[in-house]
């Protein structure tokens, strides 16, 4: 994505805020220097084929440059940040281009041909030094991924700057284009593989650029929460599509899920009902909301949807209390979103505080704290007909509360998930995903 003058202003403000947070955390931990590693290239076991490179998110928080394995950031209190950027002299592969653009004016930049040369150029030869990275630091005396320092920085990353929000909005707009193309391919009878290709073509990003592996599932495959196989042939009778896929912008990713039914009927009505209750949950997003309570509310709403459809005979409250709702909704309502799809900071309200526990019986919840302005969350209720979980329900005390004949009718459709990316604002919220769909219509 090309930089605009607005992007440059936003990034300058972002870097100022981010560096201030880093410097404060360094002072609290009495550190003179902090070195952040971009990450290393890794090869498949006993092979010369490299795995796709994923940049260290702490590096991407400060530097929007293209991924460059072996690169380093050196931070010293009161000094401009130093970027030691690795551009290999490589004729087997195209090396990353040296950093360019107005944003580079905020850094002291040096370019090196190897990671070893970049490490040798580090000037933190004295004083307390910390290292954030996946491999061992060059000096054994350095603190490695210090827990308290990272705890302080995690809290800063929870609240997105204007630059980060601009990246997330762009990633969402691009991702929506992919979802529209994917639905059209589904309605034209395409296979999972071809629907995935339609998504990639629409967003103009390759698989290694995606924020996470796209989930493209048809029919009963929609019941596998992180389905990954992508059949190359379409099913004989396409019934349903679940696509959970996002796009990237300068390291920030969108996380969008949509479900579609091929024909009208009970399953299509369940999808409509899921859209309605998902929007009710999105409307509840605001500062001070306890995410655990919103998660339990999602369970009650999904249970009521199943009761209204004739799947459950239990009341919504009884379905949640007995755990029956978890058979149909076994994952959490959502999570924080940013440089990582499941972004950091979901469990502790402040640095050093103990993690806030999940509600009993809900082990998959990835966010347990109260919402604060500046956070971006996903809101993704779902319902699924998962054979292994249904078997346990059928063998348990609540078996008579289920319309198993209707369940058998719906099982071939797999399941439903609707997911939006929502910014928590001081006044309430902004639904980034619905805005992007409206803009694309």
Highest-pLDDT range among 60-74, 80-94, 373-387: 373-387
Which of 10, 16, 35, 327 is CA-nearest to residue 166? Answer: 10
Longest dimension (CA), the chain: 72
For the cut 80, the answer to whether the pLDDT of residue 342 exceeds it is yes
Task: Name every residue whose Cβ is closer than 8 Å to that of residue 165 and which is 6 or more positions away in sequence.
Answer: 376, 423
The CATH number assigned to the domain holding 210 equals 3.90.230.10
Helical (H) or strand (E) element with 243? strand 240-245
* Same-domain pairing of 240 and 267: yes
Measure the CA–CA gap between 67 and 306, rounded to whole angstroms: 46
> Among the listed ranges 99-103, 401-405, 415-419, which one has the minimum average pLDDT value?
99-103
What phi and psi values does residue 87 have, to the nearest 5 degrees?
A: -125, 95
* Same-domain pairing of 174 and 57: no
- Number of domains into which the chain is organized: 2
* Same-domain pairing of 48 and 195: no
* Same-domain pairing of 217 and 120: no
The pair of three-digit structure tokens given for residue 288, joined into one six-digit string: 């001070």
The torsion defined by the Cα of 128, 133, 135 and 141, in degrees rounded to 10, comes to: 10
Q: What is the mean pLDDT of residues 147-155?
A: 97
Q: Centre a 10 Å sphere on the Cβ of residue 356 and count the other Cβ atoms it contains.
A: 16
In the listed set 119, 141, 158, which residue is the last one of a domain according to the structure? 158
Helical (H) or strand (E) element with 416? strand 415-417
Measure the CA–CA gap between 421 and 437, rounded to whole angstroms: 12
Query: Is 379 in contact with 411 (CB distance < 8 Å)?
Result: no
More confident residue, 189 or 93: 189
Helices (H) and strands (E) in the chain, counts: 13, 16
* Same-domain pairing of 179 and 248: yes
Helical (H) or strand (E) element with 394? helix 387-394
- pLDDT for position 2: 81
* pLDDT digit string, tens, across residues 193-211: 999 999 999 999 999 999 9
Average pLDDT score over the chain: 96
Which of 84, 102, 87, 99 is CA-nearest to residue 15? Answer: 102
In the listed set 103, 126, 158, which residue is the last one of a domain according to the structure? 158
* pLDDT digit string, tens, across residues 296-319: 999 999 999 999 999 999 999 999
Measure the CA–CA gap between 277 and 301, rounded to whole angstroms: 7
* Same-domain pairing of 106 and 63: yes
Helical (H) or strand (E) element with 253? strand 252-253
* Same-domain pairing of 168 and 147: no
- pLDDT for position 23: 97
* Same-domain pairing of 281 and 418: yes
For the cut 90, the answer to whether the pLDDT of residue 67 exceeds it is no
* pLDDT digit string, tens, across residues 113-137: 999 999 999 987 678 999 999 999 9
* Same-domain pairing of 201 and 61: no
- pLDDT for position 171: 98
Q: What is the DSSP letter of 265?
A: S
> Among the listed ranges 2-6, 30-34, 244-248, which one has the minimum average pLDDT value?
2-6
User: How do beta strands 72-76 and 33-37 pair?
Assistant: antiparallel
Q: Centre a 10 Å sphere on the Cβ of residue 403 and count the other Cβ atoms it contains.
A: 15
* Same-domain pairing of 115 and 50: yes
* Same-domain pairing of 71 and 170: no
Measure the CA–CA gap between 220 and 227, rounded to whole angstroms: 10
The CATH number assigned to the domain holding 58 equals 3.40.350.10
C-alpha count within 13 angstroms, C-beta hemisphere, residue 115? 14
More confident residue, 72 or 2: 72
Q: What is the DSSP letter of 223?
A: G
- pLDDT for position 105: 96
In the listed set 158, 174, 195, which residue is the last one of a domain according to the structure? 158
* Same-domain pairing of 225 and 150: no
- pLDDT for position 283: 98
Buried b (16+ CB within 10 A) or exposed e, 411-438: bbbbbbbbbbbbbbeeeebbbbbbbbbe
Domain containing 168 equals 162-440
Measure the CA–CA gap between 44 and 49, rounded to whole angstroms: 6
Helical (H) or strand (E) element with 36? strand 33-37
The torsion defined by the Cα of 146, 150, 151 and 156, in degrees rounded to 10, comes to: 160
């Amino acid at each position: 994505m090309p930089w605009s003058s607005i992007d440059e202003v936003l990034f300058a403000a972002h870097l100022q805020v981010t560096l201030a947070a880093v410097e404060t955390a360094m002072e609290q931990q009495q550190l003179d220097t902090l070195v952040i590693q971009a990450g290393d290239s890794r090869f498949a076991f006993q092979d010369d084929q490299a795995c796709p490179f994923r940049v260290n998110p702490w590096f991407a928080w400060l530097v929007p440059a293209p991924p460059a394995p072996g690169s380093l950031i050196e931070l010293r209190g009161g000094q401009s940040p130093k970027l030691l950027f690795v551009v290999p002299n490589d004729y087997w592969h195209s090396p990353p281009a040296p950093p360019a653009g107005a944003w580079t004016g905020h850094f002291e930049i040096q370019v090196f041909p190897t990671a070893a040369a970049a490490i040798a150029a580090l000037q933190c030869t004295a004083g307390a030094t910390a290292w954030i990275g996946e491999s061992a630091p060059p000096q054994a005396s350095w603190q490695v991924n210090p827990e308290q320092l990272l705890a302080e920085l995690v809290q800063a990353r929870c609240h997105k700057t204007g630059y980060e929000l601009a990246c997330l909005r762009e990633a969402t707009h691009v991702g929506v284009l992919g979802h529209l193309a994917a639905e059209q391919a589904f309605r034209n009878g395409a296979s999972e593989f071809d629907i995935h290709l339609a998504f990639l073509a629409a967003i103009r990003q390759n698989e290694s650029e995606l924020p996470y592996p796209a989930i493209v599932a048809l029919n009963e495959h929609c019941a596998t929460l992180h389905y990954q196989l992508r059949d190359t042939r379409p099913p004989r009778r396409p019934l349903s599509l679940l696509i959970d896929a996002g796009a990237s912008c300068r390291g920030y990713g969108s996380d969008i899920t949509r479900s579609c039914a091929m024909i009208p009927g009970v399953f299509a009505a369940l999808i409509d009902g899921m859209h309605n209750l998902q929007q009710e949950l999105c409307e509840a997003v605001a500062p001070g909301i306890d995410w655990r309570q919103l998660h339990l509310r999602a369970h009650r709403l999904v249970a009521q949807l199943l009761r209204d459809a004739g799947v459950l005979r239990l009341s919504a409250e009884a379905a949640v209390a007995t755990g029956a709702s978890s058979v149909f909704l076994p994952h959490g309502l959502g999570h924080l979103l940013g440089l990582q799809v499941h972004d950091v900071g979901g469990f502790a309200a402040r640095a050093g505080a103990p993690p806030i526990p999940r509600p009993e019986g809900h082990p998959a919840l990835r966010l347990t704290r109260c919402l604060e302005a500046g956070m971006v969350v996903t809101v993704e209720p779902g319902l699924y007909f998962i054979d292994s979980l249904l078997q346990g329900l059928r063998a348990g005390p609540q078996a008579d509360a289920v319309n198993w004949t209707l369940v058998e009718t719906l099982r071939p459709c797999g399941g439903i998930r609707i997911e939006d990316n929502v910014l928590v604002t001081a006044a309430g919220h902004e639904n980034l995903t619905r805005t992007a769909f409206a803009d694309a219509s």
